Structure 1
């Protein structure tokens, strides 16, 4: 059984994800950590309090005190762990739909746990090794009410408030009813921005939109940008560790484009950046232009964090890293995806350039992305499709990168085939400046998978 994926563990509430499971995960973590107290936070999901209670029970049953921060963005919990030198448990399913919930684990250095630490906790969890203590050694519980206030103050001290205020920006903000609704409106107002909001009431039913900040879910934000004549639109996911943008016309900005713009601002010759195997050619081109090195990892924040730490240990400079889904790291500030900080760095970019969003991202727009999914209904179909993907990569006129599926780079274009970590699907990604080339690459991969699936179904 694999418990931890690319960003903690998640599941459908009442099915694979239960209070008993969360209590066991928290107890195993608490028993593994060398700590006498653990911080605990949650996002706005309707099941959040139930699972926070379960996590608190597991931690205290392991003989460790718990400090309950309440509803906080993940980066707020991470900051608390860093400042207080305590590990943490975050109850969140991030961008997943409302019926999901999950657990992220944070170390006492304020960084989500790397792969090897998660594996240690997973081994303890699955071994059924005792994690509880006697009646007179159980931990205590106390509330912490000022974590979000301190988090906002920390953000304000870390960005160029004067430059942003001088730009006189109007920000349209969509926290998506998530934990960022408690912090981001205040933060951007304190930066001197005029702020208008939509979906800014914390609500675990997510009545205005699903938590994932993708274009299909953000029509309200586009309309708000246009109605308010805003300079920029900003949207978060459920735990506010991501930020995606709309330009001044109310048009969605590809996350790969904003990542490239932010990376080009911070990268210098000799630096290294880290991204997942579905990285856009935009970032590849930025690294080539500035003389930086690009390192690829399997998809997921945990894998990026792990690789950044390895590069740090080797003495490498990694000023920026991330994925094109709005999850950008600025490791010199803190090794966490922080939606509010990401957005503030983008506002700094607008202020420095004295430019509109569309002008800032214009150099990174001349790319076409194609994304396709091929679902499977059985393990036989999955195995057949994976074999077909391997054969497709072997026949290709490019050396495959197999860190996570098969990525084929052609210099002017690339295609990636990989199994989804959350759904019974294989995902196909392709990108090129030439729309026809991107479509052809995707179609070739999809055809190979579809043929293999059909043959497996006929057997």
Structure 2
């Protein structure tokens, strides 16, 4: 796909992503859907109102009425779409920095579109075959109130509220100024938790931290856990479809360890779990010990969700899936990432033991992630070619599911171009931190040398 990457389409606003482009994407989606009503939401980014207006115009131009939900988490928009039986457009750049924005497309079942459906919309977009309505058949829009409240109510009905409330947990929460600031504080209070917050006011400047919930951005959350003697710290990305955790000591928990703990609690013999090619050995070990199969896909929620649907259609049971970036999927709830739901599932593991003990069995691995920026498509191709040459000459097992991954037995390293930013990402994992750092640095040096040439 040229337009839709690993999770929608994104870019720097007024540079790669313009209102005109958003209008065309929305009109193409509306043409393929052919729906009378389409829902529209956005996160807290400063460019959200402008781009939501453009999307609404594109949808109305093909004859669709638009239900405008305003600022909502992506999973709240998905819940609304499923309840109403209508498709939806989400204006968000998820974890990307403030200058970025983007579009996610959601089907009438409340699930992000499959690769096949995205390709159909992309075809209409690129060949300009949008079907515009006659002047007296264009759509209208209306403001929808209460979508965030409806979402919280659905969450409360889907989790073990009584058990969590009985544990009398204190939650330190960092929504990162994103859409989760308008839902997660109330949700965790309604679960019976005491809630302490940081970066909890919606602000598209993201003054407290960047939207991506990675360790380097979450120092304030660790401090808050320690200062308030909280049982757990929870952080979201910009559209709150991901959750990252800190333990009761204010120590960052690797997302791969969280995924492994949640998977261990959900998987049984004969089940299948799905993750991406940058999967941690932690999940590999859990799948093996549970008697479950592990399926790998290219990186990105779209790829994972598409594979889950295929497996379910074939009669397979997929209790849990996702990536180690905090994007966990529980298909029985919905085939989407949902940061608040994931957090509630993790809280249910804290009823009998502290967070540090919950994830302790999945410690013992060190992870490194680096980005190598490129200027244009020619340089991108050069970096990918250099990664491939290095991988083929390395003394390890090579996988090309997405980029180039090399397994060395005691460690692995992966290089693949991002689907949302102009970078080639380098991932490495090993039992020893020095080994993971060595592999990552070695491959980054190869890529940087290729870019310099």
The equivalent residue for 1:260 is: 260
The equivalent residue for 1:228 is: 228
The equivalent residue for 1:87 is: 87
Task: Summarize deviations over 1:23-50 as a string: whole Å, max 9, x none.
Answer: 1111111111031110111111111111
Distance 1:297 1:4 in 2: 16
Distance 1:34 1:413 in 2: 49
Secondary structure of the residue that 2:428 maps to in structure 1?
Answer: strand
Secondary structure of the residue that 1:52 maps to in structure 2?
Answer: helix
Going from structure 1 to structure 2, the CA distance change for 1:200 and 1:425 (only over 3 Å counts) comes to closer
The equivalent residue for 2:388 is: 390
Any residues of structure 2 matched to 1:29-68 within 5 Å, and which? 29-68=29-68
The equivalent residue for 1:404 is: 402
Distance 2:79 2:247 in 1: 30
Any residues of structure 2 matched to 1:331-350 within 5 Å, and which? 331-350=331-350
Any residues of structure 2 matched to 1:263-302 within 5 Å, and which? 263-302=263-302
1:382 Cα deviation after fit: 4.0
The equivalent residue for 2:157 is: 157
- 8 A Cα contact 2:69 2:145, kept in partner: yes
The equivalent residue for 1:367 is: 365
**Residue of 353, 356, 360 corresponding to 2:354:** 356
1:449 Cα deviation after fit: 3.4
Distance 2:58 2:266 in 1: 42
Give the unaligned 5+ runs of structure 2.
none
1:260 Cα deviation after fit: 0.7
Any residues of structure 2 matched to 1:242-261 within 5 Å, and which? 242-261=242-261
The equivalent residue for 1:309 is: 309
The equivalent residue for 2:96 is: 96
Secondary structure of the residue that 1:355 maps to in structure 2?
Answer: coil
Secondary structure of the residue that 2:263 maps to in structure 1?
Answer: helix
- 8 A Cα contact 1:416 1:429, kept in partner: yes
Going from structure 1 to structure 2, the CA distance change for 1:164 and 1:26 (only over 3 Å counts) comes to same
The equivalent residue for 2:200 is: 200
The equivalent residue for 2:219 is: 219
Going from structure 1 to structure 2, the CA distance change for 1:383 and 1:154 (only over 3 Å counts) comes to closer
Secondary structure of the residue that 1:135 maps to in structure 2?
Answer: coil
1:376 Cα deviation after fit: 4.2
Task: Summarize deviations over 1:345-385 as a string: whole Å, max 9, x none.
Answer: 0000111xx11111111111211112233444565554444
Give the unaligned 5+ runs of structure 1.
none
Going from structure 1 to structure 2, the CA distance change for 1:78 and 1:288 (only over 3 Å counts) comes to same
Distance 1:373 1:60 in 2: 40
Going from structure 1 to structure 2, the CA distance change for 1:216 and 1:442 (only over 3 Å counts) comes to closer
Distance 2:144 2:44 in 1: 17
The equivalent residue for 1:18 is: 18
Matched, 1:183 2:170: no
Distance 2:114 2:354 in 1: 38
Distance 2:112 2:196 in 1: 32
The equivalent residue for 1:167 is: 167
Task: Summarize deviations over 1:249-295 as a string: whole Å, max 9, x none.
Answer: 11111111111111111011111111111111111111111111111
Secondary structure of the residue that 1:120 maps to in structure 2?
Answer: helix
Going from structure 1 to structure 2, the CA distance change for 1:423 and 1:201 (only over 3 Å counts) comes to closer
Secondary structure of the residue that 2:350 maps to in structure 1?
Answer: helix
Going from structure 1 to structure 2, the CA distance change for 1:86 and 1:362 (only over 3 Å counts) comes to same
Going from structure 1 to structure 2, the CA distance change for 1:9 and 1:375 (only over 3 Å counts) comes to closer
The equivalent residue for 1:431 is: 429
- 8 A Cα contact 1:43 1:178, kept in partner: yes
1:415 Cα deviation after fit: 1.6
- 8 A Cα contact 1:281 1:413, kept in partner: no
Matched, 1:108 2:108: yes
Going from structure 1 to structure 2, the CA distance change for 1:31 and 1:184 (only over 3 Å counts) comes to same
Secondary structure of the residue that 1:210 maps to in structure 2?
Answer: coil
Matched, 1:328 2:328: yes
TM-score between both structures, scaled by the size of structure 2: 0.96
- 8 A Cα contact 1:225 1:248, kept in partner: yes
The equivalent residue for 1:72 is: 72
Going from structure 1 to structure 2, the CA distance change for 1:382 and 1:55 (only over 3 Å counts) comes to closer
The equivalent residue for 1:413 is: 411
The equivalent residue for 2:144 is: 144
1:130 Cα deviation after fit: 3.8
1:212 Cα deviation after fit: 1.1
Going from structure 1 to structure 2, the CA distance change for 1:170 and 1:313 (only over 3 Å counts) comes to same
Distance 1:105 1:142 in 2: 19
C-alpha RMSD over aligned residues: 1.7
The equivalent residue for 2:125 is: 125
Going from structure 1 to structure 2, the CA distance change for 1:375 and 1:138 (only over 3 Å counts) comes to closer
Secondary structure of the residue that 2:60 maps to in structure 1?
Answer: helix
